[in-house]
Amino acid sequence: MRFEKSVEIQAPRQRVWDVLSDIEAWPRVVRLVEVAEIVSPPPLARGGTVRLREHRLPEGLWDVTSWNAPVSFELTQRAGGVTTVARHRVDALGADRSRLTLDLEMRGLMVSIVGVFFRKATRNHLDQQAQDLKRAAEVTP
């Protein structure tokens, strides 16, 4: 099962990346994120670990499985028979425009069961996250 949300942002790629990659600031930026903590030694990079809790979802540890600054990163969580991969990508569309793409893929034996209950909520979460990150990136620091 896979979900994807893209939004265009009136800000340079580096600005969008700075907002997106500041994971510990997500609770102040993304309304649905309640806890975001880097639990591995800094700086955050491939092999690192992040603790996240979103509204109505259990807290979990996510492994950083890819880190390609200032373009993309990937977080992976394995729990309850489901592997979830969250991809985050920023593409430059010009000097002052970017596209943010959030991609969530769920794999495993339990996906068909989990998917029935969480399909709509997952779409709503991705939409909300994208809009909140857009809003934060478009504000002059």
Tens of pLDDT, residue by residue over 34-67, are 999 999 998 999 999 999 999 888 899 999 999 9
pLDDT (0 to 100) of residue 12: 97
pLDDT (0 to 100) of residue 114: 67
Q: Is the pLDDT of residue 81 over 90?
A: no
Contact residues for 128 (Cβ-Cβ < 8 A; gap 6+)? 30, 31, 32
Distance CA(90)–CA(93), nearest Å, equals 9
pLDDT (0 to 100) of residue 122: 86
pLDDT (0 to 100) of residue 115: 67
pLDDT (0 to 100) of residue 98: 98
User: By 3-state DSSP, what share of the chain in percent is helix, strand and coil, each rounded to 5?
Assistant: 30, 45, 25
| pTM recorded for the entire structure | 0.93
